[in-house]
Structure 1
Amino acid sequence: MSTNAIVMLNRHAGHGMASQLQTPIEAWLKRHAPGVPLLAPTSAHAALATLIILAPRTRVVLVGGDGTINTMLPAMLRRGHRLGLVPAGHTNSLAHALGLTGMTWQNALPFALNHPSAAIDVGQIDTGKGSWPFASRLSIGLDALMGLRAQMAPAFLRSSGMRRLWGVMHEWPRSKALPMRVWVDGKLAHEGDTLAVSVTNTPRVVATQGDRTEPITAAPPGTMDALILGKLGSLRGLSAMMRATPQPSPPKIISMRMHQIQIDSGTPLPLCADGEELPATGRLGIQVLPRSLQAVGQHAEAELWAPSTQS
């Protein structure tokens, strides 16, 4: 077990459901890892301040979901901390990509503390007014609005798929295409009315094996998957938004691997990174930061992203 580790609980994750884990995790650590503290900061500001003063390369086990990771990501990158995860959010895309799907907290916690880490890619958004990293997904336009609406879904809709459907059904009737020009790796890939653009850093296609779902495809190291949806008919567009990967891809549905993207629009575009809302902007750039985050997961052995020095 790492001797330089902490566990940090976001009590607000999963609409507050994660708060129920504080007492049992404290008891587990006292028995199995007495040298590892459990922190439950009262605010995101306090959590970030804690991460900044930790020794570099501390193993930080976050108990939360994609939004928790996104909030802590700037400090994690700045200090070179190693990320472990106990999935406890309504959306746990990065945890799924790291091979943690189906793990209870009793399994995920010792895994996060004991398993080796290896480097994964991270994305970065630049708007001219600020820069923000993201770990799993950046959504632009209608995709962002649906993702944000999904965050407001009733608490009884616990699965990410059902929350996504709830967001789609509420936002799709009022959907509006926005003018965009999209350059991918320096080449104009799309121009015209656009429903949505998404950039994903995690496998989008899964295969079912028994009672488990496993990621079966991921972008090569240093790249991410970009999906551009032009102005589509209502049925085709709705079908595209509900599928992880549109198949087949008609001309107005563009899917490709990317290193960099530039987007220009005369209209402020809604943005959502890992489920967290960002300021709307009419111009932005997206780039991949290759192997910039050490994360604990199955990829450290299976090398889903790339071989790297484990720690």
Structure 2
Amino acid sequence: MPSTGPSAAGLPLAVVLNPAAGRGLAGRTWPRLEAALNARGLAFELLHAGSAREACAALAARPAGQAALAVGGDGTASLLLPELVRSGRALGLVPLGSGNDLAGSLGLRPGDLDSALDRLSRPEGRLDLMEVRLDDRPPVLLLNGLGMGYDAQVADLLHRAPARLLGVPLGGFPRYLWAALRGLRQLESGPLTVEVDGEVLYRGASCLVAVMNSERYGGGFRIAPGADPRDGQLNVVLGGNLSRVALLPLMGRVLRGTHLTHPAVREARGREVRLSWERPMQTHLDGELAGAQRQLTVRVLPGALRCLSLP
């Protein structure tokens, strides 16, 4: 039987707070979240997430079996993955970041503290993870997904987007939309080969390819509709040799999740995906830039993460 609740091991929650997440939203919301935790009688210890190394080291110093509650966005949870997998700790989510795509795929709304904390009292389950290999680097664990080409150009622009536009704060989905439109200026295609479970899915010109564990990225774009981070499968979605004029309306369909019927879009599911370009293309891993890469291999790790935030 699955354990129930974060205190099943008799230990307080390790609350990992990234106060900078969501352009400071997580830090501003912390007093209200702290009060909500106390009101529910949930014992906790507060840790601050800095770098991945610092966050994992702080969590590793806590007793074995102590669950972690990531307060921030997808990036905050991703910081903890090496330690969570190493130790077998469970993860809970309070989505207060800019994207919150994994949490959104699980039905959690940003800022809805009651719903996020309600999940902690339910039986835990498991989520799949992605393991990515780039050249000779150590493998990287991902929660949500990766992209090459236009996707990664947009991720790069997100990191450089202004805080305000015409006097209006630029965050969350509007920030991603700004980056997506700016990225059209830099759109380029290249020869790509996509292999899924050893079979060639596509060989030809492409401007973008995404391999996803859940269905959303960019704060709400449904790039892989129907993807389920509990099904033991990866979803790969690619666009062919699209022009700027063709890609712009297609992005509107991606927002609604209706793009898979477009003739320039290919989609497949499998346990291992290999992407090979003839020249290096910009790459992102869970929204973090990984530079220009020619090839990578990604495989699913079924049920690798214990999770306290399932529907």
Pair in the same fold by TM > 0.5: yes
1:218 corresponds in structure 2 to: 227
Whether the 8 Å contact between 1:9 and 1:62 is mirrored in structure 2 is: yes
- Superposed CA deviations along residues 144-194 of structure 1, whole A, max 9, x for unmatched, are 11123234434423332x222111111111211122211111111222221
Match of 2:181 among 169, 173, 179: 169
Does structure 1 residue 249 correspond to structure 2 residue 262? yes
Which residues in structure 2 correspond to 1:22-101 (within 5 Å)?
A: 22-33=30-41, 35-101=43-109
Which residues in structure 2 correspond to 1:1-311 (within 5 Å)?
A: 1=5, 2=7, 3-4=10-11, 5-33=13-41, 35-101=43-109, 104-108=112-116, 110-128=117-135, 129-155=137-163, 156-160=169-173, 162-204=174-216, 217-219=226-228, 221-244=231-254, 245=257, 246-250=259-263, 252-299=264-311
Shift in CA distance, 248/42, structure 1 to aligned 2, threshold 3 Å: closer
Whether the 8 Å contact between 1:117 and 1:297 is mirrored in structure 2 is: yes
Matched residue SS, 1:287: strand
Whether the 8 Å contact between 2:67 and 2:90 is mirrored in structure 1 is: yes
1: CA distance, partners of 2:49 / 2:31: 15
Matched residue SS, 1:282: strand
Segments ≥4 residues shifted beyond 4 Å: none
Over the matched positions of the two proteins, sequence identity in percent amounts to 29
Structure 2: 5+ residue stretches without partners: 164-168
Matched residue SS, 1:243: helix
- Superposed CA deviations along residues 240-280 of structure 1, whole A, max 9, x for unmatched, are 34433414231x31111121111122322222122111243
Taking structure 2 as the reference length, the TM-score comes to 0.83
Whether the 8 Å contact between 2:187 and 2:244 is mirrored in structure 1 is: no
Taking structure 1 as the reference length, the TM-score comes to 0.83
Whether the 8 Å contact between 2:108 and 2:115 is mirrored in structure 1 is: no
**Considering only aligned residues, what root-mean-square deviation do their CA atoms show, in Å?**
2.5
Matched residue SS, 2:44: coil
**Count of aligned residue pairs for this structure pair:** 288
1: CA distance, partners of 2:159 / 2:100: 13
Structure 1: 5+ residue stretches without partners: 206-212, 300-311
Matched residue SS, 1:240: helix
Matched residue SS, 2:207: strand
Matched residue SS, 2:281: strand
The alpha-carbon deviation at position 224 of structure 1 amounts to 1.9
- Superposed CA deviations along residues 15-51 of structure 1, whole A, max 9, x for unmatched, are 2221112333334444543631122245443211012
2: CA distance, partners of 1:284 / 1:42: 28
Shift in CA distance, 204/29, structure 1 to aligned 2, threshold 3 Å: closer
The alpha-carbon deviation at position 69 of structure 1 amounts to 1.6
